[in-house]
Amino acid sequence: MLGVILTAPASLGSLAKSPVTVIVILGLLAGGFVFLILTLRAMLGLSTII
């Protein structure tokens, strides 16, 4: 786990040179986070966000 955390920024550093790639990576991270939150809320039976 520690190895992944330490090597991930180095490999993503080369991708960060393109602004489009940065936007795509941030969008994927945000979408994954929202998906995780909504899935957990549905599994736990919590009320909807809206």
- pLDDT tens digit sequence for 1-50: 788 888 887 877 777 788 898 899 899 999 999 999 999 998 998 876 66
Answer for the pair 21, 15: CB distance below 8 angstroms, yes or no: yes
Of the candidates 38, 35, 34, the residue with the CA atom closest to the CA atom of residue 47: 38
- What is the C-alpha to C-alpha distance for residues 20 and 32, in angstroms, rounded to an integer? 18
Question: What per-residue confidence (pLDDT) applies to 49?
Answer: 65
Q: Report how far apart, in Å, the C-alpha atoms of 7 and of each of 19, 20, 46 are.
A: 21, 22, 37
